[in-house]
Each structure stands twice: as C-alpha cells, then as structure tokens.
Chains A and B, each alone.
Chain A
Amino acid sequence: MQKYLTVLFLIVLLSACNNNLSRLSKHNPSLGLSHAQNTESNYNIDLSRDAKFTSKSFKYTDTSGKEKFINDAVKDEVTGEMVSMVYLNEIVVSAKSQNIPERNGVIRLDFIVKIPSILQDSRWQIDMLPVLSRGKDTMHFNRILISGEEFKRAQEKGYKKYEKYLRSIIPDDVDFLEVYTDLPNLVLFLERNLPESRVMAGERDDDLITAFGVTEKSAVDHYVKQWLIDRNNKRKAEKEKYFYKYVKNPYLLGTKLDSVIQMGNGDFAYHYSQEILTNDKSSKLFLNLYGQVRDINGMCFELNTSDTIAYNVSSMVGFIDTTTRYKKKIIERKATATMAAFIDFKVGKTDIIDTLSNNAIELEKIKKALKDVLSNEVFVLDSLILTASSSPEGAFALNQSLSSQRASSIQKYCEAYIKGLDEEIVSYELGTKNEIQKTSPLSEVNSLIIQKTIPEDWDRLRILILNDTTLTNKEKLLECFKIQDLDERERAMSSYKREYKYLREKIYPQLRRVNFTFNLHRKGMVKDTIHTTEIDSLYMNGLVLLKDRKYEDALAILLDYKDFNTAIAHISLGHDRSAEEILLSCPETAYKIYLMAVLSARKGDEEQAVKFFLRSKELNFSMAYRGGLDPEISSLIRKYNLNKDLFE
C-alpha cells in the first residue's frame, strides 16, 4: 500500500513541476507586433465585435396597427422624466496601418517586436521570423533569436560533446600499420617466420610465403584490428546521427539578432528596421511575425502568428503624366545621291578599256549604282549629272578636250547599259508633272543625263595636298597655286622633284574621276515635305517601367526627353537637382508645384516648400491629402498646421 502511495506522490510531484514547454499550450501566448513610434500612423476606426451591453429595443404593433418602440429607460436626474436609453456598442480605435514613403527605390520598414514575459525562461530560446507579404509574394526577413543563459550553455555543451565524438574518429591520414594492427606482435611474427618481409618499410609482397605456407597477406591480416577499422567506419558513417543526438539545438545562421538575455525582467521589446527594394507591387505591404520557442531538449513549440500590421507605401508614381506622346517625322520629297568612280584612261586616249588597272571594278560599281537607282521603288530619277575631271598633267587645252571626250565616252557607256536594262522594271517620272507617264525608258532616261567636265581639278588637288599626311614641303607646293597660268603652275610644281613624284604617283590618280550625282524625288509625292506622327513607343515603354517602379530602367529611356515624367523618375531616385532643373521648365500644374514643394523641403528651404504647397492646394485641393503621404510635406503640415482648412 505504502509503495503505491509513494509512486502516486512522485507522479503528482513530477506533473506539478511543469517548467516545460507544455505549459505554454495552456496559456496560448503570442508575440507582440506593432508599428514603431515617432512615425506617422493611420488610425482606423474598428467596431468592437462583442458589446458589453446589449441594447434591448423592440417593436410592438398594437391592434390598431400602430407601431410602438419599446426601449430601456432611465430617470433623467434633471427633469425627473423617464428617458429612453440606448446603449451603443464600444468603438475601439487601433493603429492598423502606417504610411511610409518610398525614396530612392528603397522602402524602410520599422516595427517593434515584443516578447511577453510568459515566453521567457532561462532554458528556452525564442525564434522570431518576420514575414512580409506584398501582392502574392512573401519575403522572409532575418530572424531574431533570444536565448536564455541555460539554453545557451546547453547548446554549447552539445557542440562540445559532438566535437569529442569527432575527435574519437581516427583520421584517414594515419599510418595504417601503427594504428590498426597489433604492431609489436606483427613485427615479432614476421621476424620469426617471414624475415624477408618488407611490410614495415611499406612494401607489400603478396608472393612471400612462410615455410609453413602462411602468406604475408594472411599474416598481416591476422594482426589487423578489423574491429577497430569497422568501429571507425561506423563512427564516420554515423556522424550526422550523432550530431543530432548531441546537438539538440544547432546554431542558426542568418540572424538579425542573436543574443542571450536575462529572462524574467518583464516584456522584451526590439525595434526591427529593414530596408527593402521597391517593385511594382509595393503599394500595400503586410507584415506578420511567426515564432517558435525551443527548449534545451530540442522540443519546439509553435507560437500563434502575431497580428498583421500593414504599411501603405506612397511614391511619386501617382504623378505620372500618361498622355500619349507622338514623334514628328518629316519626309522630304527630294533626295540626292552621289557616287565617285575612278576610271583610268590610257595617256592621250579617251576610250574605256575595262582591263586597264581598276576599271573593271569601277565600271561594275557604276553599273550597279545605275541599276539600283533606276529599279528603286521609292525614288524616281530626275536627272543624272556626270562630272568628269582629270589630273593637271599636261597642257590645259589638251586636258580640256580629253576630259570632255572622256566624259562623253562614259556617258555613252551608261546609255548603252541602260538600254540593256530594257527587260527589267524601270520606273521613272518625267519632270514634275502630276501625271505619271510610263513610257519606254530608253531615250527618255538618257535625256536625263547631263555632262560636266573639270579639265584640271586644281581645287581638289589643293584639298588633297592639305590633307595629306606624308607629303613634305606643303607650303612650297601651295605657293605655286598663286600662279595663275595653269601650265606655268605645273612647271613650277614639277621643279620639286621628290614631292612631284609623290604627287604623280599617289595623288593624281585620285583626280582622274567621274562623279555621278543622282537627283531623285519620292515616287508619288507632290508636296516638298510631309509631316506624319507616330506613337513614340520608346517613350511609352519608359512610362510603363516608371509605373512599375523600375526607376533606373525608366530613367535610362526617359533621360533625353527631359519632361515632367523624367522629373518624376529623377525625384524617385533622389536626383533632386536634375529634377528641379526639368521641373522649372514644365508648365504650371498642381502636380508640378507640389513636386517643387517636395524638392524645397528636401533642400531644407521650409518657407519655399510651404509656399509651393499652399499654391498647389489652391490649384488642386486634393493635394492637401497627398501632403499627408509624403514625409517631407507631412512634417511641414504638422509644424505649421497647414491643413487646418480640411477640418473647417
């Protein structure tokens, strides 16, 4: 009987000592989460769900059909009359959400985490994880760990035990023979029975055999402590199992705070501040706190999720001017294309020889250009001006006749080619008449070819001499240009033997050329210029990025436009000066003046900021409410009581 009583007593005693986690489940505690003070809070009116008093009032319809209302009644002390009384439900006001600004693409969240004293125990660790939800995404912040002293000590002891276990594992780099064999006996045995063995020196010879037929291998194997090898391998394999056995609470990394506190000194509060980058879903943020309590033995108690607190993020995105932008495009009617071809002729000759120097390539160039122009869909040939020029060698009169003859032969060449394009589609227009005449292109196109000659191209020579980098004695050569008579001039220049040689070899060939100038106009266009508008899609892309709060990318696109939206991008990134510059040239709107107020406030110019703010309110009264969302303006509103007209 007495035995049972003692057992019962022990059970009762043990259960009374509920200094363990299970007592938490009775109290159902939760962590406290609230907005940080000294920041603007938005107050929400919240109707309390259970009213202390229920107001009893009911309707009574009497026999005549009149409705009567029956209420609670009390005696009015002043008049002595019975007055009906209705109890109203309690109204509880709580701070639910907070307005925070977004600046430079970054939002700073502040909140206070509170650990009630019931959760504190020297043998416990409280692990809190703030979780932010925006839109559908959740973001885990770094956790906070608050440990008790005993907990920390037990944690460290666990690690020490594990380290001791690790040290008991024989490492891989030990001498196998020394550690894993019964070395003395092995040595003696080998000395006695197998003296030729070199096992001690590290060499194994599996062919060695004692007189009695015992191989070296079997001798060594007999003395190997297989049990030790197996035990070591087992220990190595079970490292992880033993880790979890000894270390019941491993160290947690990635914490914002990991500290040991003196438990039991009342509630513990921690001000958590975290910056996050904005994205397009950043207008409303919700924050929750998840918590766990762990004790020394590795048991874990999951706490109720704390209340959710909300943040409203205000940004400049609301000011974006979303009107479509158009690009102006001016299309001209006329166009000119030029091309130069270097055709070489034999000295004194005027016929085109396609095997001479580069002529083949240059002639191909000409033919291709002609074909491209004549078969072009967009443009039509008005006229083609052939300018043939020669180098200054020789007498001027001779050069003159040679040049004109050479020009003629080139023209004939072109005409012949154009004739050959008969089978292809050639479009052209005669003159600038409105009617489009499609006649045989042969003679008409050839009539568009105009011939010009420059017998001795001195102007170009002068430019080439000036621009040449290897020519010496340029001044002397250019002096010769003062001589009016061209033949004399040439004689003077040829006196500079070396330079003249260079001129003849390198520069003169560039003067023997034919210049083709194609004068074209756009097919079907009558007016000289046409203005069209098309949507500036690049700009609109920039606006989309801006709305999505991708400020850097938006600015990259909008930078050159330098308009109101660019200013918004600048402000959001903190480029106050650039923003101001642009805003000054923007038209006066309520938004623009409001932004000027923000910029002035940021600069510290309170007077200017207030003035701008009041003016923007005059233009658009809703700016008064917007002012409450931006911290720069809201602090001014509070200081100077700028919004008192809201309540009048």
Chain B
Amino acid sequence: MKRLLIICLLVLAPVLCLAQKYGVRTNIIGMATGSLNLEASLALSNKWTLHLPVSYNPFVVRDNIKVKHLMTQPGARWWFWHSYAGLFIGAQAIGGKYNIAVTDYRYQGWAAGMGVSSGYAWMVTSKWNIEAEVGAGGWYSEYDKYQRPLCGEYEGSFKRILYGPTRASISLMFIF
C-alpha cells in the first residue's frame, strides 16, 4: 500500500524528491530477440528501488512466427548492500497483452500476474551497471488459441492460471 502511494507521488511530483538516483535500463537479450524494452527505476533508499519496465515487440519473424507483446512489470527491488550495487531480490506485478506464435499454434490474449526475481548488478563505471536477472511467477491469462498460419483456425478460448519464468535478462543500466 505504501509503495502504491509512493508510485503515485513519483508520478505526480518528481520535484519533491531530493537527491534520488534514477536509472534507465534495457535488456540486451530482449533487444536481441526483437523486444524493444526500457525500464525506468528510482532509488528510494539505500535498500529499495522501484522499477517500471515496458516491453514491446511488434515483429514477425517469418511464416507468422512472432512473439508480439506489450507488457509492463512494475516492481520493486530490495538490495542486499546498496541500491544499484550487488545482489538484489525483487517482486513485480505483471501485465500485458500478447500475440505469440512460436509452435504450430498462435495464442492471443492478455495476462496479469505476479513474479519474483533475483539478480546481481555489477558496477562498471560510476554511471553504468550491467545486471543479470532471473525471475519466475504466475499469471492469470485469457487467450484465444489459433492455428499459427495467417488467419489460422480458431481453436478455442481459455482462461487459465499459468506459471513459469517471467524474467531472464542481462541488461545495461544507466544511472543518473
């Protein structure tokens, strides 16, 4: 609850915040697989940071193979030593819509859920970090299943709770 409040404050008045640290980062693996992503983060104290990543993938590979999605995973991290340095654990809320066709089927729908993650941040220079993170979680999803080819057959609608990995990233972060 408190955190929600802080998010609101953050959105409303960045001027209120004094010597805070901000960071933006991008997931290189994601970029390599065509998911444009950007994450903004904010350090609240020496132990807590808030994050708001957004990931958008509009690309179609070929033969209608795609991992289109628009997703956000707002969350917070707790750092063992200090914000933006060292080991951390985080928790996120997941939300977004997707249109994925990798196997013989295409799934299109939306998902919302939660995940936990953990990772490590290496300080490269005073302004740049390289981070690695993995996470898993669960989400509720409503989706339609089609045959993969374009305008493929409709297979059905589903409403499920799914579990799986939610994050696997190696990212480059800029802190200012």
Residues A212 and B46 in contact, CB atoms below 8 Å apart: yes
A185, A188, A191, A222: which has the most chain B beta carbons within 10 Å? A188
Q: Which residue on B lies nearest to A184, using beta carbons?
A: B123
User: A356 an interface residue at 8 Å Cβ cutoff?
Assistant: no
Q: Are A192 and B127 in contact (CB under 8 A)?
A: yes
Q: Is the CB of A189 within 8 A of B123?
A: yes
Question: By the criterion CB–CB under 8 Å, are A212 and B125 in contact?
Answer: no
- Which of B43, B82, B126 interacts with A191 by CB under 8 Å? B126
Q: Answer whether residue B83 sits at the interface, using C-beta atoms and an 8 A cutoff.
A: yes
Q: Is B84 an interface residue (CB 8 A)?
A: yes
How many residue pairs at the A-B interface have CB separations less than 8 Å?
35
B126–A188 CB distance below 8 A: yes
Q: Separation in Å of the B128 CB from the closest CB of chain A?
A: 9
Q: In the complex, A192 Cα to B173 Cα: how many Å?
A: 13
Closest Cβ–Cβ distance, residue A196 to chain B (whole Å): 12
B175 contacts chain A at the CB level, 8 A cutoff: yes
Question: Do A213 and B45 touch across chains, with their CB atoms under 8 A apart?
Answer: yes
Residue of A nearest to B44 (CB): A212
Establish whether residues B123 and A192, one from each chain, have CB atoms under 8 Å apart when the complex forms: yes
Flag if B127 contacts A212 (CB, 8 Å).
Answer: no
Query: In A173-203, which residues have CB < 8 Å from any B CB?
Result: 185, 188-189, 191-193
Q: Which residues of B contact A185 (CB under 8 A)?
A: 85, 123
Q: Are B123 and A212 in contact (CB under 8 A)?
A: no
Query: Which of A210, A211, A212, A213 has the most C-beta atoms of chain B within 10 angstroms of its own C-beta?
Result: A212
B109 → chain A closest CB, angstroms: 41
Chain A residues with Cβ below 8 Å from B19 are: 211
B126 A210 Cβ-Cβ under 8 A? no
Cβ-based interface call for B81 (8 A): yes
Among candidates B47, B82, B125, residue contacting A193 with C-beta atoms closer than 8 Å = B82
CB of A545, distance to nearest CB on chain B (Å): 84
| Chain A residues with a Cβ closer than 8 Å to the other chain, count | 13
Q: Per DSSP, are chain B's interface residues mostly helix, strand or loop, or mixed?
A: loop
Can you name the residue of chain A whose Cβ is closest to the Cβ of B48?
A212
**Chain B nearest CB: distance from A185 CB in Å?**
6
Collect the chain A residues with CB atoms within 8 Å of residue B21's CB: 211
Rounded to whole angstroms, the CA-CA distance of A192 and B82 in the bound complex is 11
B45: A residues at CB distance < 8 A: 212-213
Residues of B25-83 at the interface with A, using a CB-CB cut-off of 8 Å, are: 43, 45-47, 81-83
Contact among A188, A193, A211, A222 for B18, CB-based, below 8 A: A211
Q: Within the assembled complex, what's the spacing in Å between the Cα atoms of A212 and B85? A: 13
Q: Is A214 an interface residue (CB 8 A)?
A: yes
- Closest A residue to B43 by beta carbon equals A212
Residue among B85, B124, B125, B175 with max Cβ neighbours from chain A (10 Å): B85
Decide yes or no whether B20 CB sits under 8 A from chain A. Answer: yes
Measured in the bound complex, the distance between the Cα atoms of B21 and A191 in whole Å is: 13
Report the separation of the CA atoms of residues A189 and B45 in the bound assembly, to the nearest whole angstrom. Answer: 15
Q: In the complex, are the beta carbons of B126 and A192 less than 8 A apart?
A: yes
Specify which chain A residues have a CB less than 8 angstroms from the CB of B126 in the assembled complex. 188, 191-192
CA distance A556 to B40 in the complex (A): 105
**How would residues 8 to 40 of chain A score, 1 for a CB under 8 Å from any chain B CB and 0 otherwise?**
000000000000000000000000000000000
* Interchain nearest-CB distance for A337 vs B (Å): 106
Report the minimal beta-carbon distance from B85 to chain A, rounded to whole angstroms: 6
Which residues of A (190-247) have their CB < 8 Å from a CB of B?
A: 191-193, 210-214, 219, 222
In angstroms, Cα B159 to Cα A416, docked, is 155
**Cα–Cα distance between A188 and B127 once the two chains are bound (Å):** 9
Question: Within 8 Å CB of B47, what residues of A?
Answer: 212
Q: Which residues of B have CB within 8 Å of A212? A: 43, 45-47, 82-83
A181 to chain B minimum Cβ distance, whole angstroms, is: 14
Can you name the residue of chain A whose Cβ is closest to the Cβ of B47? A212
Q: Is the CB of B125 within 8 A of A188?
A: yes
| Cα separation A189 to B123 with both chains bound (whole Å) | 8
CB distance from B29 to the nearest CB of A (A): 24
Contact indicator B18/A192 (Cβ below 8 Å): no
Q: A214 to chain B: which residues have CB within 8 Å?
A: 46, 82
Q: Tell me whether A189 and B82 are in contact in the complex, defined as CB-CB below 8 angstroms, given that A212-B43, A213-B45 are known contacts.
A: yes
Contact with A along B77-101 (1 / 0, CB 8 A): 0000111110000000000000000
A211: chain B residues within 8 A (beta carbon): 18-21
A92 vs B172: C-alpha distance in the bound complex, in angstroms?
Answer: 101
Within 8 A of A (CB), among B161-176: 175
CA distance A489 to B52 in the complex (A): 141
**Nearest chain B CB to A223's CB is how many angstroms away?**
9
Question: Given A191-B126, A193-B82, A212-B43, 15 more contacts at CB 8 Å?
Answer: A188-B124, A188-B125, A189-B82, A189-B123, A192-B126, A192-B127, A211-B19, A211-B20, A212-B45, A212-B83, A213-B45, A213-B46, A214-B46, A214-B82, A222-B82
Shortest beta-carbon contacts, A-B, top 7: A212-B46, A211-B19, A191-B126, A188-B123, A192-B126, A212-B45, A214-B46
Interface positions of B (Cβ within 8 A of A):
18-21, 43, 45-47, 81-85, 123-127, 175
